[in-house]
Structure 1
Amino acid sequence: MKGWMYILLCSDGSYYTGSTNDLHRRIMQHQTGQGANHTKKRLPVELVYYEEYDRIDLAFYREKQIQGWNRKKKEALINGTPELLPPLAIAYKDLTDER
């Protein structure tokens, strides 16, 4: 069964990352307040990025990976600049090491 990992831009400027086996239906659920708690409080939402997978478990795995990313990494992915991901990961690690 196919799956999708997606990123939504919420009305407050935050990002929500999810996965589903029916992208159109899931986006409609988010838009009508039937999605995740995060998006219910931040309507409307806009689909800004998605990836399609042959299996839903791969989409879920990718969702969990991206949920751990900082905002700059998510924006590099959304903006189609994946070459920025490694430097952003290193910069983020350096910042967390200082805490």
Structure 2
Amino acid sequence: MVARTYPDDDPTTALTRTEIAILDRLVSDTGNRGAKPGTLQLYLTKLARLGGYLARASDPLPGNTVVWRGLRRLADIQIGADLNVGASCG
């Protein structure tokens, strides 16, 4: 909801730097629906795309369901990355 109220805010308002880095690596900036680079709105769209949102020009803004799916996938990916880093250290 913060991204809808303040779309040009810094993405660290809602996401950690690790989550932002993962989204940057996994989801391209194409199809960002006109969001400015480095804004909360861009990362909300990336998160929604991770949850299955297509971000076509005629699509409405992403809803709660695709954002929730994206958050769940992002959390799973982050756990996997953390486990991989831990395995390589031991």
TM-score (normalised: structure 1): 0.28
Write 1 or 2 for the structure with the bigger share of helix: 2
> Bigger relative contact order, structure 1 or 2, given CA contacts below 8 A and separation 6+?
1
Write 1 or 2 for the structure with the bigger share of strand: 1
Rg comparison, structure with higher value: 1
TM-score (normalised: structure 2): 0.30
